[in-house]
Amino acid sequence: MLLFDKEEQLIKGIVFNIEHYHINDGTGIRTNVFLKGCNLWCPWCCNPESQKFNPQMVIHRKMCIGCGTCQSVCPTGAVLQDDFGNRFIDMSKCTLCGLCMQKCLSSAIEQYGEEKSVADVMVEVEKDSAYYTESDGGMTLSGGEPCLQPEFARALAEACNKRYIHVSMETALAVPWATLWRVAEKVDQILADVKFTDPEQFKTICSEPVDLIKDNLKKLREKGKHVVMRCPIIPTLNDNDGHIEKLIEWAKELDIKDVDLLPFHQLGKYKYTSLGYVYTMDEFKEIDKTVVEKMRDRMAEHGLNVIVGG
């Protein structure tokens, strides 16, 4: 029987997914805990369900058979139909009772986000404890931006610290230092998403200056944190020599040895339709992995340990 102290049972946050057996988000075998809420809203994001803080109920159109059961059972009239016959959920009316999801004949309805306590999450994390021991794995905080739920994220990291479970955190670093360090202090490894190094390009997705990202990286290194730079490679936006040379410059200056290059893909495209969001990346082709491998080789020439993601 797992034991949790009072604080672990009381501190709560919004989690939209917990995934087991990951191998690309930190060392070893990981359990990824995805927290809801983000301040960037990158147009290529493969987890658009992470962007809003509040839980959301969605209907996946490709799975919906149009039977109307969800509409008939909804107690608040939140399930509506557009002019093309597609059903959708009006979240201003939805109470998240889950009845539509329970009664859906084709499992087309999904809830993104649920309030969970630290204890609730740790029950899932500890299921994989044997794998952590064998592989030097652990829990990875992801999102969204975990630092936007700083007390919850810190409490999760502390719960792992007490149980000798390694903690990684994926963060875009686009938050004030005090907020970042509130969580990062208890984290063993930082997976830092460096999306752009050019100030003007960075402004397109974030109101903060790109200098904030670099300053936060510098402070994390001064605190002795193990930092991995994770760099999405987006065709026509940052798949160029200038960006790669700048990443090399940052890595050398900040004494960062590990880099992950993440080729653009469109695997999360279907979620945008379900959420009622406009997807603006249709014209962007998935990047040729050999192009990214050449970038890897260029960075490796400078002594960097570079992995190309799938």
Tallying the residues shown for the chain, one arrives at 310
Q: What is the CATH number of the domain that holds 90?
A: 3.30.70.20
The answer to whether residues 94 and 196 belong to one domain is: no
The answer to whether residues 238 and 270 belong to one domain is: yes
> ∠ CA(174), CA(176), CA(178), 5° rounding?
135
The answer to whether residues 135 and 203 belong to one domain is: yes
Q: What is the pTM of this model?
A: 0.93
Give me 148's structure tokens.
């936007």
Q: Helix 150-162 crosses helix 177-184 at what angle (to 10 degrees)?
A: 20
1 is a domain residue: no
pLDDT in tens, the chain (310 residues): 578 889 999 999 999 999 999 998 999 999 999 999 999 999 999 999 999 999 999 999 999 999 999 999 999 999 999 999 999 999 999 999 999 999 999 999 999 999 999 999 999 999 999 999 999 999 999 999 999 999 999 999 999 999 999 999 999 999 999 999 999 999 999 999 999 999 998 988 888 899 999 999 999 999 999 999 999 999 999 999 999 999 999 999 999 999 999 999 988 899 999 999 999 999 998 888 889 999 999 999 999 999 998 6
Distance CA 136, CA 154 (A): 21
* Number of domains, the chain: 2
The answer to whether residues 139 and 155 belong to one domain is: yes
Q: Helix 118-126 crosses helix 150-162 at what angle (to 10 degrees)?
A: 40
pLDDT tens per residue across span 224-279: 999 999 999 999 999 999 999 999 999 999 999 999 999 999 888 999 999 999 99
Give me 52's structure tokens.
């809003």
Alpha-carbon separation of residue 219 from 1, 104, 167, 245 (angstroms): 40, 50, 19, 22
Mean pLDDT for all residues in the chain: 95
Q: Which residues contact 149 (CB under 8 A, 6 or more apart)?
A: 13, 14, 35, 36, 37
The answer to whether residues 108 and 121 belong to one domain is: no
Structural domain including 22 reads 6-52+116-308
Q: What does 231-285 look like in DSSP terms, one character per residue?
A: EEE-TTTT-SHHHHHHHHHHHHHHT--EEEEEE---TTHHHHHHHTPPP--TTPP
Strand 166-171 relative to strand 138-142: parallel, antiparallel, unpaired?
Answer: parallel
The answer to whether residues 182 and 213 belong to one domain is: yes
User: Token match 């201003």: residue?
Assistant: 92
Q: End-to-end CA distance of the chain, in Å?
A: 38
The answer to whether residues 89 and 23 belong to one domain is: no
Distance CA 190, CA 254 (A): 14
Asked if the peptide bond before residue 144 counts as cis, ω within 30 degrees of 0, the response is yes
The answer to whether residues 43 and 73 belong to one domain is: no
Kindly report the backbone phi and psi dihedral angles of residue 83, in degrees, each rounded to the nearest multiple of 5, phi listed first. -65, -15
